[in-house]
Chain A
Amino acid sequence: MGGLIRALGARLLQAALVAMAVGIACFLMVRLLPGDMAYRVAAGRYGMDHVNTAAAEAVRAELGLDRPWWQLLSAWLGDLARFDLGVSLVSGDRVVEELSVYLGHTLLLSVVALLLSALVGPPLGVLLAMRPGSAADRTGMAVGAVLRAVPAFVIGLVLMMVFAVQLGWLPAAGVGGWREVVLPATTLAIGLAAVSSRVARDAMVAVAHSPYLAFARTKGLPEGAVIRRHALRNAAVPVTAYLGVQLVTLVEGVVIVETLFAWPGIGHALVHAVVARDVPMVQGTALAMGLIFVALNAAVDLTCLAIDPRRRPPS
């Protein structure tokens, strides 16, 4: 129980740090960005055909953009503490509302990608570990190394060109049904699976040479039980721990893949917001992604604790 509290406490602190850092960085952004914020907002709202000084002045008055900086900073941080993420400078809708829509899409994509990679990666790694050093194993490792090196957007591009355009089997972009999810989720899953299969393979190979496994065999247990009861659980520890590292890849990959496939998720929104310098949206999306990252890490911590009794503090 103590370990649980400690782990969660550390993650909560991390979440608070993330929120503070993002909040202050975004406030600095508002002050330091070149160009006039009011014009930028007006351009986003009314479109390039209608943006002019009159529109910009109206926006300036509406948003109170010319208050002194310390007033703005305290208002900013106060809003952040109350989870009032403000209003998007571009669309005028509340950031929290927009985020909830985008969040659903991003979670869908992430979950499908993680599921796909979990279904393919570790089992493949375990299979290869059965015959270490064989031709299949070496080819698998080589393919994995190449896939790890190719960036997610290149993989996605190739998949899009082949499956959406050449063969026309899958739609190239957008949201709608299960077909739209396939390409972006597969793109992410390939990168994740390449890593997790390698880790699983190495972990299984290490476990296969371990003394307790040999002991289990000498005890007379059938091979299947040996693997199931002893090998898998021990191998699962580094694989799950690696999940933490993979989450970084996932979050970064989501940003790129969502933009490539026009998937209306948080990553896509973040990139749009950065390009449009829509600071409340940048803050909101960066915060959301950061907090998701911390939350997923916490989940990984808990899973590790659950699987590996050695991590729990002595009760």
Chain B
Amino acid sequence: MKRRTLLASLAAAPGVLPGTARAQAPVRTLRVVTPWEIGGLDPARSGYVFQRMQIAETLVGTDAAGALVPLLARAWRLDADRLAWRFALRAGATFHDGTPVTAEAVAAALVRARAQPGPLAQAPVEAITAEAGEVVVRTRQPFLSLPAFLAHSGAIVLAPASYGEGGAVRAIIGSGPYRLTDLLAPQRLDAERFAGWWGPAPAIERVSYLAVGRGETRAAMAEGGQAEIVTTLAPETVDRLRRNARVEVVTVPIPRTRALKLNANLPFFADVRVRRAVALALDRDGMARALLRSPEGAANQFFPPALPDWYIADLPPPRRDLAAAQRLLDEAGWRAGPDGIRARDGRAFRVTLRTFTDRPELPVLATAIQGQLREAGIDLQVAIVNSGEIPAGHTDGTLEMALYARNLALVPDPLGTVLQDFGAQGGEWGAMGWSSPELLAAAARMGEEADPAARRALAQRIARILHDEMPVIPVAWYDYPVAFSRRTAGGSVDPLEISYRIAGMRWAD
């Protein structure tokens, strides 16, 4: 890591004085600004940065509709016994250090990835080997979603020279259209076009990535022309940016949901009537409009419209019904006391809601929910903690309620997330103290089912169970607003947040 001295900083100042004539035209850099810092070199921790910047690639990619497409793998097929997936590699792919992308290199990278925390570690993989130029992944039971798991950022393929002793990653030598030239973790990286990439040569020569935590600052950078792509715009800044002629704002709904996780082991939430009452007491429409500035984001169910197979189309939009909520709470035995807080058998309805600041809107939503539930007689204490305290609280049973944001397409197939979150023991980021044998059976069958229509029916069944029982209460779906500078063209937003698609962009002038 470099240490910038005063002189070095001044010397490196871009555009020091406006209108200064330059001896030669500098190479333009496409600057990407996001909130997410680069947490080191390990793909399990920061692979998503290298994947999105197209520095490193996975075997399998996704297209605009979320379907799987070949990337480093040319094609893949399932063996007759349905226990082995074979991935044929693309010819002519090379790493940035010139070595070819061989099956051995890929297998080594994937074996290492499986040993780290991530979705691949959760998949029932038995062994990953290289056989006759193909990568073979053997599973313990038929697992049809496996290719989707190989699209995840933890499974990026790095050259053998990237790994040092003990498997630690020493350098990022990927196979993508851009080659890493400078890494100043955790804030920024620079990359330039790699001539040996297997795809069509990208028009943009140089790219850089900068992590800027404050939403306001990112918006200011978009307005001021200090960046060409600015992602995850803060909701309050989107309107302002839309009015700015320099910038084009593209908002794409993504398969992420903000939800309330309830501990159904507690006497409060064991009763489904109470859970439904909590859902009715929420003003989801108000929160989506006023706080998230996204009226269509008010969630009436767990899966957003961005996942058409899982989304139940005929449910009514969410509406607050405080009277119905109060009726349900009364029915469940929770009577309002003199201070307005409900109680039953001497125990007051007092719950601690844990949330975190990794997503900046969560604390504000938590405060709004606190006010709304107070009107229904539930006393909520908001605790803003480190996001790790939610799985910790799930495991040791101390978690009462949590507000979190869940990525439903960690791997492009939501079944992976469903299995993790609504398993027999619940899930650290899903149900707690609740499970449904019917849901588990449907999920298991889905893992083995190839027919799309049958899969859709099973998905709808699972979604319907979650909607009726509400072990987690959906609050709002996510929008992903990205600002593109009008100096660029060809930009698009990947709803699965896998790639910034810079290789397909060009300068507009």
**A residues at B contact (CB < 8 Å):** 35-36, 39-56, 58, 90-93, 97-98, 100-101, 103-105, 107-108, 111, 164-165, 168, 171-179, 262, 264, 275-277
Contact = CB atoms under 8 A, between A and B. Distances in A.
B356 interface: yes
B20 to A, nearest CB: 12
A285 to B, nearest CB: 15
B4 A101 contact: yes
Contact of B16 (A40, A105, A178): A178
Interface string B210-250: 10111011001101101000000000000000000000000
A164 B45 CA distance: 34
B391 A176 contact: no
Interface stretch (B257-265, B309-317, B381-389, B483-491): B381-389
B264 to A, nearest CB: 19
A173 B389 contact: no
Contacts of A262: 212-214, 217
B385 A177 contact: no
Given A42-B388, A174-B210, A178-B13, A54 B121 contact: yes
A171 B221 contact: yes
Contacts of B121: 54
B17 to A, nearest CB: 9
B40 A177 contact: no
A91 B44 contact: no
B428 A52 contact: yes
Ranked nearest first, the 3 interchain pairs of A and B with the lowest CB-CB distance are A177-B13, A43-B388, A39-B388
B39 A45 contact: yes
Given A171-B226, A176-B13, 4 more contacts: A39-B386, A39-B389, A52-B391, A104-B3
A33 to B, nearest CB: 10
A174 B1 contact: no
B387 A173 contact: no
Contacts of A100: 1, 3
A178 B39 CA distance: 27
A246 B10 CA distance: 27
Contacts of B387: 43, 48, 51
A50 B226 contact: no
Interface string B377-407: 0000000011111011001100000001101
24 contacts: A39-B389, A40-B389, A41-B388, A42-B388, A44-B386, A47-B45, A49-B407, A53-B395, A91-B37, A91-B39, A92-B45, A97-B1, A101-B4, A168-B224, A172-B221, A173-B220, A175-B187, A176-B9, A176-B14, A178-B13, A179-B13, A262-B213, A262-B217, A276-B386
Contact of A173 (B44, B217, B391): B217
Q: Find the residue from B5, B13, B356, B391 having the highest chain A CB count within 10 A.
A: B391
A111 B6 contact: yes
Contacts of A176: 9, 12-14
Nearest to A260: B214
Contacts of A103: 3
A98 B45 CA distance: 18
Contacts of A111: 6
Nearest to B395: A53
Interface in B119-164: 119, 121
A302 to B, nearest CB: 22
B217 A36 contact: no
B118 interface: yes
B443 interface: no
B388 A58 contact: no
Contacts of B224: 168, 171-172
A54 B44 CA distance: 13
A173 B40 contact: no
Nearest to B358: A48
Q: Find the residue from A46, A52, A90, A277 having the highest chain B CB count within 10 A.
A: A52
Contact of A52 (B185, B217, B405, B429): B429
A168 B223 contact: yes
A53 B392 CA distance: 7
B186 interface: yes
B371 interface: no
Contacts of B16: 177-179
Contact of A108 (B6, B39, B213): B6
A108 B37 CA distance: 23
Given A56-B391, A56-B392, A178-B13, A164 B4 contact: no
Contacts of B325: none
Contacts of A107: 6
Interface string B447-466: 00000000000000000000
Given A35-B392, A173-B217, A101 B429 contact: no
Interface string B325-338: 00000000000000
A53 B5 contact: no
B22 interface: no
A54 to B, nearest CB: 6
A232 B407 CA distance: 66
Contacts of B44: 46, 50
Contacts of A175: 4, 9, 187
Nearest to B187: A264
B117 interface: yes
Interface in B401-419: 404-405, 407, 410
A177 B12 contact: yes
Nearest to A170: B224
Interface string B160-196: 0000000000000000000000001111000000000
Interface in B345-374: 356-359
Contacts of A42: 117, 388
Nearest to A54: B117
B28 interface: no
A257 B174 CA distance: 38
B386 A43 contact: yes
Contacts of A179: 13, 16
Contact of B212 (A35, A105, A173): A173
A174 B212 contact: yes
Nearest to B10: A178
B212 to A, nearest CB: 6
A129 to B, nearest CB: 33
Interface string B41-54: 01011000000000
Contacts of B3: 100-101, 103-104
Nearest to B256: A49
B13 A51 contact: no
A108 B9 contact: yes
Contacts of A165: 220
Given A36-B392, A171-B224, A177 B212 contact: no
Contacts of A173: 212, 214, 217, 220
Q: Find the residue from B385, B392, B396, B428 having the highest chain A CB count within 10 A.
A: B392
A105 B13 CA distance: 14
Nearest to A168: B224
A187 B385 CA distance: 31
A177 B9 contact: yes
Contacts of A39: 386, 388-389, 391-392
